[in-house]
Amino acid sequence: MSDIKAQVRQYIADNFMFGAGARVPGDSESFLEHHVLDSTGFLELVAHLEERYGIQVADEEMIPENLDSLDAIAAFVARKQGR
């Protein structure tokens, strides 16, 4: 799962973090609470996860418990891949 976290961290840093002082939140920190992603950003993230990891994210799976932190995303992707 650490590979997934590292890859998603890099994706978020490259696509959503702007400004000299911007930092990707820690593994368990909320993207919403830290204003990293908005609703459009989450849709872009889901599209990236689907393409990168070969998974399908159903509408009912687009919830904070699955997508609001690096820890949550890594666990979600691993579950979807059957790990």
**Tens digits of residue pLDDT in 47-69:** 999 999 999 999 999 999 999 99
What does the alpha-carbon distance between residue 3 and residue 82 come to, in Å, rounded to a whole number?
Answer: 16
| CA distances from residue 66 to 46, 47, 72 in whole angstroms, order as listed | 11, 14, 5
User: Given pLDDT bands bounded at 50, 70 and 90, which one contains residue 19?
Assistant: low
User: Given pLDDT bands bounded at 50, 70 and 90, which one contains residue 2?
Assistant: confident
| Mean pLDDT of the region 68-72 | 96
Question: Hey, what domains does the chain have and what are their CATH numbers?
Answer: 1-18+30-82 (1.10.1200.10)
Cβ atoms of 16 and 48 closer than 8 Å: no
**Tens digits of residue pLDDT in 31-49:** 999 888 888 999 999 999 9
